[in-house]
Structure formats: structure tokens, C-alpha cells
Structure 1
Amino acid sequence: MINKKRKGFTLVEMIVVVTILGVISSIALVKYGKVQESAKMNADYTNAANIVTAASMAINDDENIAESLSVESLKEKGYLSTVPVPQSTSGRFELVISDNGTDISVNVNSKQFYPR
């Protein structure tokens, strides 16, 4: 009997490799989705901090403005270049200012983004 060596891979070897690659790629996609969601949340926290900074500047310039202050009015008065839009959720940023104007918070659909 003559033994011939065949070159190449068997069907079982190919199925094992494809299965392993599929498992690895599914793990990578799940991790990528979590990183993307985390980045959107961090962008929202940063935007909320920028809104609070702009509101503080507006209140320092005119103390009587605190009652009528909103994100849109901050843009109109030039304290913000654009009206930020939340990335991680739908809705819009809402500015909440205490009676004395010292405590400022930013919410989106009753979820607080500032202070953290």
C-alpha cells in the first residue's frame, strides 16, 4: 500500500477554526458596544458640566437672570456656541437652578447628569 500525504486541512479542522473565530468576534462586539455606550455617557456628563459653567458665568454677569435661565437662552446670549443634545438618551438637557442661584444641576428626563 502506498501512503499519500494530502496537503490542506480537513473539514473538521476548518469547522473548529471558524467556530473559534465566531466566539472571539462575538466577545469583541459585546465589548465594543459597552465601550460605545460608556463614551456616550461620558460625553453627556461633559456637556452637562459645560452647561453649568455657562450658567454660572451668566449668573455672575447678571444675578437677576437666574429665574429665566435655560439651555436655549444660554445659547442665545452667547454663553454656549450650540445647544448640546444628549447622546446616551433621548430628550434634552434641562437646567435646574436653586432659589439662591448657587446650586445648579442638569437633568435629562429626570436623570441627573450634573453633579454626578
Structure 2
Amino acid sequence: MFKNEKGFTLIEIVAVLLILGILAAVAVPKYVSIMEQARINAAQTAIAEVKAQCSNYYVSQMLSGNGTTTNIAVQTSVGAAPYLGPDYNVTTATADSGIVIYVNSVKGTSLNPAQTGTWYYPGL
């Protein structure tokens, strides 16, 4: 064998590939888990925004002298939350105690199960 030869041996290359494989096996599931948790957190933030919009509408109706307003009027005012932009798929439904808010997807990725929250009607 020549003493001037440079390069990696097969064992060194296999060792590096093995280490990279182990790192990938650990990192990819962690990355997926972090992304899922980020989507859930974003959905919870969207729910908080819709609740704030419900409260704003309710208060504006009270302050305008129109008296109390109904759950249906509040739900109609927030609709499908267009102010959240196209990144969120939000639906709302009236319930006995207020409005149920569903976030079905974030940035086109479905949430399973959908994240839910409830805005409670202050008049009850």
C-alpha cells in the first residue's frame, strides 16, 4: 500500500452513515410531533381570536343601545372568521350556552380531532 493515499476507509463511511441514520430516526418523529403541536397551538389562538370577536360584537350591541343580542346574531357576526385569513378553516355553531367554535384545519392540514372552544353568552 502507498503511504501517500488519502481518503476514507469503508468502515469510516459505514460508521458515519450509521450515525446519520440513527439521528434521522430520532429527529424525524420529533419534528413531526413539533409541527403537530404548533398546528394545535395555532388553532387555539384562532379560537381565542373568534371568542374576542364574539365579545366585541356583543359589547358593541350593548353600548349602541340596541339592548341584548342573541346567540344567532353573534354567530352571524363572526361567520366563518374571514379575518383570520385563508390559513384557518373555522366553523361555528350555536349552542344553548353560547357559540361553539371549531378549527378544522391550519394551513391546509386537517386537525384530527378538530380543535374546539366555546364562547359563553353573557346574558345567560
**TM-score greater than 0.5 by the shorter chain:** yes
Preserved CA contact (<8 Å) 1:85 1:92: no
* Higher-strand-fraction structure: 2
Q: Quick check: 3-12 or 48-57, which moved more?
A: 3-12
Distance 1:60 1:98, change over 3 A: farther
Shift of 1:81: 6.4
Q: Which amino acid aligns with 1:40?
A: R
Stretches of structure 2 that go unaligned for 5 or more consecutive residues are 62-67, 105-112, 119-124
Preserved CA contact (<8 Å) 2:72 2:94: no
Alignment correspondent of 1:93:
91
Q: C-alpha separation between the residues in 2 aligned to 1:114 and 1:67?
A: 17
TM-score between both structures, scaled by the size of structure 2: 0.61
- Alignment RMSD: 3.1
Alignment correspondent of 2:65:
none
Which runs of structure 2 are paired with 1:57-96 in the superposition (5 Å)? 57-62=56-61, 63-70=68-75, 73-74=77-78, 82-83=83-84, 92-96=90-94
Give the 3-state SS of the residue equivalent to 1:9 in structure 2.
coil
Q: C-alpha separation between the residues in 2 aligned to 1:98 and 1:112?
A: 19
2:117 pairs with 1:114: yes
Identity %: 25
Stretches of structure 1 that go unaligned for 5 or more consecutive residues are none
Preserved CA contact (<8 Å) 2:102 2:114: yes
